[in-house]
């Protein structure tokens, strides 16, 4: 595949490495607005975006306008996600979105959903989430933590919303605690706590390589496809 790489920070460089290892070609890199000027759209098979929340919507529109499938790993722009999902489906464009491309993290969240369904009938347990990332990560909470929280809310009737670092969350809230420590790649924990015992699920990423590989696998998956896709479509669990 000929890949357009949008965003050339740590994740962008990891994606480049993973793509080359799988014998793909990076035909162009976008790291600032000027880089769009000399892009030959005709040479691009698929785009992978790890840019910033402030430009990701424009990036998607550019790709849609040129019928280029796009994989988006950028997080914290999701207020317009449903609009782009509907647009991709209606106009037969191709969009793949994930807050985390780790296969292990996807499986972890499937377990999270299953446990939430069980805990819907166990009101004695209070649920919270903790996410820990490196000190360079700007957004909080992480997109993966939000996904975990939203799936809990979808499956536990007594939970309606999530809050960030609340001193004391209300009964209808899922408290997310965000920590930025050193060079931690990423750790997410879901804790159910009662007066009798605790149940804790944890996923710890050892490197960013799993995220990068997952994004490249998503790009490969999009070949000859139209519409909106997520990790659920890529990983059959």
Q: At what angle do helices 103-119 and 209-221 cross, to 10 degrees?
A: 90
Active site residue 135: no
In the three-class reduction of DSSP (H, G, I as helix; E, B as strand; rest coil), residue 233 is classed as helix
- 66 noted as active-site residue: no
| Active-site hit among 133, 159, 188, 203 | 133
Q: Closest Cα to residue 3, out of 230, 229, 224, 219? A: 219
Bridge partners (DSSP) of residue 201 are: 190
3-state secondary structure at position 213: helix
- Distances from the Cα of 237 to the Cαs of 13, 45, 167, in angstroms? 29, 28, 36
Tally of CA atoms within 13 A in the half-sphere of 80 that contains its CB? 12
SS3 172: coil
> Is residue 201 within 8 Å of residue 190, measured between CB atoms?
yes
Q: Which residue among the candidates 17, 85, 117, 137 is catalytic per the annotation? A: 137
The dihedral built from the CA positions of residue 112, 151, 191 and 53, taken in this order, carries a sign that is positive
**Alpha-carbon distance 54 to 27, whole Å?**
24
- Residues acting as catalytic residues: 133, 137
């Amino acid at each position: 595949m000929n890949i357009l790489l949008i965003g050339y920070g740590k994740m962008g460089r990891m994606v480049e490495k993973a793509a080359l290892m799988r014998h793909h070609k990076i035909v162009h890199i976008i790291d600032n607005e000027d880089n769009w000027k000399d892009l030959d759209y005709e040479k691009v098979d698929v785009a992978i975006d790890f840019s910033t929340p402030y430009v990701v919507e424009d990036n998607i529109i550019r790709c849609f306008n040129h019928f280029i499938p796009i994989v988006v790993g950028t997080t914290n722009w999701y207020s317009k996600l449903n609009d782009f999902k509907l647009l991709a489906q209606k106009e037969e464009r191709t969009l793949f979105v994930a807050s985390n491309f780790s296969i292990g993290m996807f499986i972890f969240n499937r377990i999270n959903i299953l446990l939430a369904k069980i805990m819907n009938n166990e009101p004695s347990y209070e649920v919270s989430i903790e996410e820990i990332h490196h000190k360079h990560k700007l957004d909080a909470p992480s997109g993966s933590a939000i996904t975990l929280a939203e799936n809990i809310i979808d499956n536990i009737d007594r939970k309606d919303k999530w809050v960030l670092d609340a001193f004391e969350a209300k009964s209808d809230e899922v408290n997310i605690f965000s920590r930025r420590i050193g060079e931690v790649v990423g750790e997410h924990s879901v804790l159910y706590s009662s007066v009798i015992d605790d149940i804790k699920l944890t996923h710890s990423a050892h490197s960013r390589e799993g995220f990068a590989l997952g994004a490249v696998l998503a790009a490969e998956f999009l070949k000859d496809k139209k519409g909106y896709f997520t990790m659920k479509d890529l990983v059959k669990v």
